[in-house]
Structures are given as structure tokens and as C-alpha cells.
Structure 1
Amino acid sequence: MKKNHVFMAIALPALALFFIFHTYPALQGIFYSFTDWKGYGSWNFVGVKNYLNVFKDNRAGAAYIFTFQFAIVTTIVVNIISLLIAIGLNSKIKFRKTLRAIYFLPYILSILIIGFIFNFIFAHFLPQIGTVLGSELLSKNILGNPDLAWIGIVIVAVWQGVAFNTLLYLAGLVTISEDLYEAASIDGAGIWTKFWKITFPMIAPFFTINMVLSMKNYLMVFDQIVAMTGGGPGKSTESISLLIYRGGFEGGQFAYQSANAVVYFVVIVIISIIQLKILNRREAAN
């Protein structure tokens, strides 16, 4: 009984805080999504009108397309780079522990600060270098180009996201016995054969975790865009999260953007479930 009392004393305050600051606001947002509330004043029930309008909104459609494009590209790139770095750091090289710490540094830095720093790099530092070198490509600020601005955001997101993914891949690589590689070498297996037949199947659960978490996080991209482009030029880099924030808190569309947020939550859940099913099936096949 004493243990139960201690457990309740620890768990109940945390549960209460979680409900107050997470669950209750979420339920409140769902409630207001069926109204015409602007974030202030009176309101009336409008049923599913807001949800229907989300599917008719061209601006929301463009934001969805950009967000999906960004999330897919960034997830693929960050996992490829992270896996390559993890394999390199797991090999017998000098100062590998120091290198692991260095690679993890970007992850502990503020996303906003990193965004502002890279904004300066893309807007001033690289163009100056490009002018000196006579390079037309480097002399232009890609964040000011509607067709290229998203690439700058991808670069920053990958630079910071590689750290966490690399850490997970390293955790998977250390579980693989060296005896497997020695046996494969005796059988004449090359580097690629070892990777596809031993390394990749053995770290499949870690690959699944990284893919699902990366996709989920990048679908909710917000801070990098606020710091680097503000959703511009025009609306070319406006993500769903940024659209919901601006429309809900700055544009008097609290109820409408609450409906948009609910729709997007369902989309993220569906995508995560599909990822898990596909990747888990691949794990079972291996």
C-alpha cells in the first residue's frame, strides 16, 4: 500500500499537469473547430463547415504540398547521411568518442538561433564569397528565390537533425557482433554485401524509429521557417504549422485553423501508421 501511495503521489501531479497544459487545450481546440470563434468575442456553432472549407482552401493546399515535399526530402537525406556517419563513427578510427560529441552538438542548440545564423550565412556570408570567387550561384541568396528557398531550409534541418538520428543508428550498430562480419569476410563477402545482408537487417528497428520520428517532426516544421524565410518569398515556404499559427493567432481564424489542425493531426497519425506497417513488414521479411 505504501508503494501505491508513493506512486500516486508522483504520478497524479504529472498527470494533472499533462491534462491541463496538453489534453484540455487539445479538446478545447477540437470543440472550437465546430464554431466560428475568431479567438475573441462571441461564437456560434457551424458544424463541419470549417472542415469542408479546409479542403477548398488553395492556400492550405499549397502549404500541405510544400510541407509534404519538405518532410519527404529531409527525412530521406537526414537518414542517409546519419547512417553513413554512424557507420564511420562505429569503425575503428581515432578520436571517435570526441567526434560523436561534436556531431551531437547541433542537436542541443536552439532551432531558432540556428535558423537566424544560417539566415545570415545564406543572405550575406555566402553571397560575399560568391562575389569574390566570381560564382553566380553562390552570389545570390537562395532564401530570396521562391524556387530554391526550401532547399536552404532542408540544409539547416538536415544539419541539425543528423545528430539525433546518428545517435540511434550508433546504438543499433553496437548490438551487431563482430563475429558476423568476420564470418562474412571468410566467405568472401564484400563491403556492400556485408551492409545489405548483415548491417541493414540488424539495425532495421532503429531505421524504423528514425524514419517515423523524422517524418513526424519534419511534417511539423515551424521554427526553421520562422527564422529563415517567414514563409516567403510570398507563400512559397509556408508550412501547415506556420499557416495554422498565423491564421489562428494573427488572422482571426481561430476556429477555422483549429479545424485545419485537427485534419493535419489525423493526416500525421495516418502517415505514421502506414510507415510503421510498411517498415515492420520489411523487418519481418528480413
Structure 2
Amino acid sequence: MMKNSRAFYWMVLPGLALFFLFHTVPVLQGIFYSFTDYKGYGEFDFVGLKNYWNLFQDDRVYHAYLFTFQFAIISTLLVNMISLALAMGLNAKIPFRKTMRGIFFLPNVLSILIVGYIFNYIFAFFLPHLASQLGIDALSANILGDPDMAWIGVVIVAVWQAAAFNTILYLAGLQTIPQDLYEAASLDGAGKWKSFWHVTFPMIAPFFTINMVLAMKNFLMVFDHIIALTGGGPGQATEAISLLIYRGGFEGGEFAYQAANSVVYFVLIVIVSVVQLKYLQKREVNL
């Protein structure tokens, strides 16, 4: 028993050391630099909470947070509605059901940057050309070049790719529902809509919680989609928090300032995730 216990610790120790070295240490360094005026090079001095105070007076930071949360909320709701609908469709007895599941999962294994560049071409050339041929003026221009419409393109691509993973989780949840429950509901005169609200949804509530929390967290950290599609533009219309931190910290000489921004960003993501988890888990009990 003792030998097994020692072997377990020896197996865990390398992974723990690597995690501490490449994750925990950089996080602690970032927190440390957030209290300085460090530019990413050269000497630095401690400035206390000055960087944090300046964050709350920066209009660019405010806009980035507003855009990111709007994007995350809309995308989270859309991806869960679409994923649940797809999962229920793929769970039904249809021809080539397993093949269809594999096809729908494909977007999840593709590189986000590659997908983004492909959709960039679609939005910039293919869709406007097709729309002009069909006489649809509303789609004849590249929406990614419109400050008021560019976010829609980002949402479309993000939801399209994220739906694959969420659909698989919902499918796993649907597999756990006993068919006896549907038969009992049918005998009680429940239609498809009532069966969904009183049988299906309560039974997959834990999977709904997981999908909502993971989707919100991932969308709040959006980066690759924006880099590939808009680069944060036009202007700063689609500049997310992560992109602002990257550009200001590594390209703009604001390393310490954006380190403070990343600390605030991290705390907000944790708070949102915990609140979501607590609320949705409480809701599971009430269903």
C-alpha cells in the first residue's frame, strides 16, 4: 500500500512541477508587475494601485469590457439553444445518425484561426458576390467592415464552432434519460413540448449547467476569432479584453497596466462562473 502511494506521488510530482513553473509562476509575476510601471523591459518602480485606478477611468478598457460581455452573453445563449436543438435532432431515430454526429463534431477539431480566415474570405468576397448576384443589397457589403455589424460576423463564427462541443455534451445527457419516463408522460397525455419541459430539460439540467458555464467562460476569453476575422476593428468596434491586454501589454509598452487589467479580468471571470454555477445548480434542484 505504501509503495503504491509513493508511486502515485512520484507520477504526480512532474506534472505538478510543470504546472507551477509554467502557470502559477507567470500568474504571480503578472500580479507582482501590476503594482509597478514596468514596460516589459528595463527598470521599473512600484506605483501601488495606480494601474488599477487608471483602469476605471480608461474609456478604451470600458468599451472592451462592454463589447466582450455583450458578445459572451449573446453567444452563450445562442450556442446553447442551437446545440440543444441539434442534440435532440441527432438523438432521434434518423438515417445515418452516427455519421451525422461525426460531421457535426468536425468544427470542434478545426483550428480556430483557420476557420476564422476561411469565414473572413466568405464574409469579404463570397457572400457579397452571391448577394449581389441575387439582388440582396443588405448582404452585398462585407459586414466585417461595418462597425455596427462586425460583431455579428464574430458571433456567427464563434457559435458555429462552439456548437459542436456543446452538442456532444447534450447528446451525452440525452442518453441518460430512461425511455420509461417518456412513455409515462405520453400515457398522461403530455405532448412533445410538455415532455421536453417536464422530462427532458429537468433530466439534462446538470449538462445545461456545465454548457452554460463553459460557454460563458470561453466566450469571455475570445481572442483567436477576433484576430482572424476583424483584428479588433473596424477601429475598436470588436476589440475584446484579451486582445486589448495582448496589444497593450506586448505591443504598446503597457505591460504593467495590462497586467493589472488581466488580474481584474481573471477575477471577473471567476465571479461570473461561480455565480452561474451557484444559480444554475440551485435551479436544478427546483426543476
Q: Which residue of 1 aligns with 2:98?
A: 97
Q: Return the alpha-carbon distance in structure 1 between the equivalents of residues 136 and 89 of structure 2.
A: 33
How large is the RMSD of aligned CA atoms in angstroms? Answer: 0.6
The Cα of 1:186 is off from its aligned counterpart by 1.1
Which whole-Å CA distance do the structure 2 matches of 1:35 and 1:246 have between them? 18
Please report how far the alpha carbon of residue 284 of structure 1 lies from its aligned counterpart in structure 2 after TM superposition.
1.0
Looking at structure 1, the residues matched to 10 and 96 of structure 2 have their Cα atoms a distance apart, in angstroms, of: 46
Partner of 2:241: 240
Alpha-carbon displacement from aligned partner over 1:223-271 (angstroms, at most 9, x marks no partner): 0000000000000000000000000000000000000000011111111
Give the equivalent residue in structure 1 for 2:6: 5
What TM-score do you get using the length of structure 1 for normalisation? 0.99
Once the two structures are TM-superposed, the CA of residue 133 in structure 1 deviates from its matched residue by: 0.9
Partner of 2:256: 255
Give the AA of the match of 2:50: K
Letter in 1 for 2:18: L
1:193-272 → structure 2 map (5 Å cutoff): 193-272=194-273
- How far apart are the structure 2 equivalents of 1:137 and 1:158? 22
Cα displacement (A) at 1:61: 0.1
**Matches of 2:261 and 2:228 in 1, distance apart?**
23
SS in 1 for 2:138: coil
Cα deviation for residue 222 of structure 1 reads 0.2
Partners of 2:190 and 2:154 in 1: how far apart? 40
For residue 34 of structure 1, what is the amino acid of its counterpart? F
Counterpart Cα distance in 2 of 1:225 and 1:29: 24
Instruction: Identify the residue that residue 124 of structure 2 maps to in structure 1.
Output: 123
Matches within 5 A, 1:126-165: 126-165=127-166
Q: CA deviation at 1:4?
A: 2.1
Q: Aligned AA for 1:135?
A: I
1:167-209, Cα deviation, whole Å (9 max, x unpaired): 0001110000001101111111001100000000000000000
Paired residue type of 1:71: A
State the one-letter code of the partner of 2:104: Y
Residue number in structure 2 paired with 1:29: 30
Amino acid at match of 1:250: E
The 3-state SS of whatever aligns with 1:166 is helix
Which sections of structure 1, spanning at least 5 residues, go unmatched?
none
Structure 1 distance, partners of 2:228, 2:126, is: 17
Q: Report the counterpart of residue 109 of structure 1 in structure 2.
A: 110
In 2, the alpha carbon distance for the partners of 1:172 and 1:4 equals 35
- The alpha-carbon deviation at position 130 of structure 1 amounts to 1.1
* Alpha-carbon distance in 2 for matches of 1:278, 1:13: 37
Matched residues in 1 for 2:135 and 2:172: separation? Answer: 45
Q: CA–CA distance in 2 between the matches of 1:251 and 1:232?
A: 17
Q: Distance in 2 between matches of 1:91 and 1:75?
A: 24
Matched residue type, 2:98: K
SS at match of 2:137: coil
The aligned amino acid for 1:22 is H
2:41 aligned residue: 40
